[in-house]
Structure 1
Amino acid sequence: MGGRYSALLAESYCDWWSLAGVDSLVGEVPAGWLDVPVANDVAGQTGTARSGSAPMAEPERVVLHAALQRQEDPAAPQAKTPAVFPGDWQAFQTWLCEGEDVPGTQWDARRVLPAGKAEAPLMLLTAWPEIDDQREGILFADEAGKLLDAMLRAIGLSRADCYVASLAVTRPPGGRCDARDAAELDRLLWHHLRLARPQRLLLIGGDIVRMAAGIALPDARGRLLDINQDGGKVEAVAVAHPATLLARPVQKAAAWDSLKLFNRGR
């Protein structure tokens, strides 16, 4: 760029900046543009005065809410010791009702207790209560219970003749338990059978069949199972839970194939 207009253009720029008020520094004390800002100046934060500036006050300490403060690492929980099962029948029944260390009671506060007496002609055993059972407070409630009663009548028995129990007195979330809980329930299973001393055993539902007989429910169809108990054997058969039979009537034939084995020799 050159010519006679250059000087006029430069003069115009200077006039504009002058009118805008940016032709000089603002303030009585000249600013040091290369100085470190006070917020980042360690000396300024600790109260050390910089040359030509007043000492900075100590910043106010912000106190965090208790929920946001660093918490001490909690002590490692102690390993839970195995429950001690009462060896007396009445004490065992009371423990199932009131004991704080009954396996499975951590799942729910609503316990569904066994009904009947020891040495019954037939023990009905399922893994845990159904949702309807917990609501009604008895095992095999509502329509499932009616179907079970009909199944018992077919082999010449009633519920009053039987000892009716679930392995766990509460229901696990989703009807499933982890390996640690399953190990405690396994101990409880054999102790419960040892005290109950049933003449025969009806396993109801796939979960209890796997725990007591070590096989899947379909493999137990029409088979008389021998459950070892204190050196002896208890005759047992396995059927699907009545609630399952109501939902899947096609499985009723398999349940009858197993149930009618109790009629042999009658």
Structure 2
Amino acid sequence: MPASPEEVIALLRWYAEMGVDVPVDETPADRFAESAAAAASAPARMPSPAPASQPAAAPPRVAAPAPSLLTAAPDAVVLAAREQAGAAQSLEELRDILDRFEGCALKATATRLVFSDGVPDARVMFVGEAPGRDEDLQGKPFVGRSGQLLDSMLAAIGLDRTKVYIANIVPWRPPGNRDPTPQETTICRPFIERQIELVNPKILVCLGARSAQTLLGVTDGILKLRGRWIDHEIGGAPRRAVATLHPAYLLRQPLQKRLAWRDFRAIRAAIGEG
């Protein structure tokens, strides 16, 4: 006897309550494969528009990375160094600019900036090449063994750090105390030239060959350069400069101290002439 319509409806309701939502065929069907095929062929669903009263939120803004001079062409880095150095109106401003400068890779490996020591209105300015380990730790130029020798040499002619100004061409220590590369020296040169211009010393003393070659445009070795007075324009004004042996060289070659003594006596005489 066939079921009545009421019985069929009741059975269907029971199936629905039990979770049966498709009829069963006589042959088995792989519903997982059918679902995967349907998902692959279905068009991509577009996001529903936001209600008129609630406008769609804008996508989050991602800040663009700050431009780095380390990825710029060398000429562009030197130009940026020149512009930034020229903008400094005081030694304090120049130090702050150097502290923010990102064009020299040495800054990333150094502990701190080694800017200067001494007095800013000194009549004599000494310029070395680059700081070493002790200078990197203390943030002052010439404070290691070579600095102690420099102090003794200054004392021998009646000077000390309260009467002179001391700096380096490169203000960050190269890793392992290696020599700065020509590119590193070229990048830092505008800053030391501006530093010389702001100090405006009567006498500029280049400690070592690399300092003299960078600042004075000479090519001779230090034994030929030392003791020779040179009038050279630095920072837009003529400067009276002399090169002498670097204290670190004198520690390795103590017999050459006699030559440095002659140079320092000449420096003392030149100060007295002014």
1:212 correspondence with 2:188: no
Once the two structures are superposed, residues 16-39 of structure 1 have per-residue CA deviations (whole angstroms, 9 ceiling, x without a partner) of: xxxxxxxxxxxxxxxxxxxxxxxx
Structure 2 CA distance, aligned partners of 1:166 and 1:192? 10
Which of these residues, 203, 223, 227, is aligned with residue 222 of structure 1?
Answer: 227
Structure 2 CA distance, aligned partners of 1:118 and 1:257? 26
1:237 correspondence with 2:242: yes
- Measured after TM superposition, the shift of residue 128 of structure 1 is 0.8
Whether the 8 Å contact between 1:95 and 1:102 is mirrored in structure 2 is: no
1:194 correspondence with 2:202: no
Rate the CA distance shift 1:182–1:257 in 2: closer, same or farther, 3 A: same
- Per the alignment, residue 155 of structure 2 pairs with 153
- Per the alignment, residue 171 of structure 2 pairs with 169
1:1-266 matched pairs, under 5 angstroms: 77-79=71-73, 81=77, 82-83=80-81, 84-85=84-85, 86-89=87-90, 90-96=92-98, 98-101=99-102, 103=104, 104-173=106-175, 174-213=177-216, 214-215=218-219, 216-230=221-235, 232-264=237-269, 266=272
SS, match of residue 156 in structure 1: coil
- Measured after TM superposition, the shift of residue 244 of structure 1 is 2.1
Rate the CA distance shift 1:229–1:169 in 2: closer, same or farther, 3 A: closer
Q: Compute the TM-score of the two structures, normalised by the length of structure 1.
A: 0.63
The answer to which of 140-149 and 199-208 deviates more is 140-149
Structure 1 moving runs of 4+ over 4 Å:
none
Once the two structures are superposed, residues 180-239 of structure 1 have per-residue CA deviations (whole angstroms, 9 ceiling, x without a partner) of: 323212323322222221121121122212111223211122212223135542222222
Once the two structures are superposed, residues 134-185 of structure 1 have per-residue CA deviations (whole angstroms, 9 ceiling, x without a partner) of: 2333221133222211211222211111111112211223532333323212
SS, match of residue 105 in structure 1: helix
Once the two structures are superposed, residues 67-123 of structure 1 have per-residue CA deviations (whole angstroms, 9 ceiling, x without a partner) of: xxxxxxxxxx55354232232112112223x31336442442332221234331111
Structure 1 CA distance, aligned partners of 2:149 and 2:228? 22
Rate the CA distance shift 1:183–1:137 in 2: closer, same or farther, 3 A: closer
The code of the aligned residue for 1:170 comes to W
SS, match of residue 198 in structure 2: helix
For the aligned residue pairs, the C-alpha RMSD in angstroms reads: 2.3
Q: Compute the TM-score of the two structures, normalised by the length of structure 2.
A: 0.61
- Measured after TM superposition, the shift of residue 126 of structure 1 is 0.8
Structure 1: tracts of 5 or more residues without a match: 1-76
Q: How much identity, in percent, do the aligned residues show?
A: 26
SS, match of residue 119 in structure 1: coil
Once the two structures are superposed, residues 51-75 of structure 1 have per-residue CA deviations (whole angstroms, 9 ceiling, x without a partner) of: xxxxxxxxxxxxxxxxxxxxxxxxx
SS, match of residue 133 in structure 1: helix
Whether the 8 Å contact between 1:127 and 1:208 is mirrored in structure 2 is: yes
Whether the 8 Å contact between 2:232 and 2:238 is mirrored in structure 1 is: yes
Structure 1 CA distance, aligned partners of 2:136 and 2:236? 35
The code of the aligned residue for 1:112 comes to V
Rate the CA distance shift 1:221–1:179 in 2: closer, same or farther, 3 A: closer
